[in-house]
Amino acid sequence: MTAGELADAFPEISRPAVSKHVRVLREAGLVRLRKEGRELHYALDVRPLAQIYERWLARYAPLWDESLVRLKHNVEAKARRPRK
């Protein structure tokens, strides 16, 4: 998308603010830039996000899995109890 298309998708944010956000994301390596004539098209680059997941978040996935299983069992157990 172009910065203008992004700004149109988020009318509550000004066009200069959208351009600034896109620039920051590009500098962080999270957005790729492709030129088509005079237009600049931006696309999300998921590779850095995947690296963050692999290096940091993936180690917490088993903890979340265990917690969600416990939560599921607790909710189902409460649902089976007769109401007073």
Domain, as residue range, for 29: 1-45
Kindly state whether residues 11 and 21 are assigned to the same domain. yes
- pLDDT tens digits, 5-36: 999 999 999 999 999 999 999 999 999 999 99
Kindly state whether residues 30 and 53 are assigned to the same domain. no
pTM over 0.75: no
Domains contained in the chain, number: 2
Kindly state whether residues 57 and 72 are assigned to the same domain. yes
Kindly state whether residues 33 and 67 are assigned to the same domain. no
Kindly state whether residues 27 and 38 are assigned to the same domain. yes
Kindly state whether residues 24 and 51 are assigned to the same domain. no
pLDDT at 58: 85
Kindly state whether residues 23 and 55 are assigned to the same domain. no
Q: How far is CA 27 from CA 12, 20, 24, 32, 80, in A?
A: 24, 11, 5, 10, 53
Q: Which of 47, 37, 9 is nearest to 22 (CA)?
A: 9
CB within 8 Å of 65: residues ≥ 6 apart: none
- The larger pLDDT score, comparing residue 24 to residue 79, is at 24
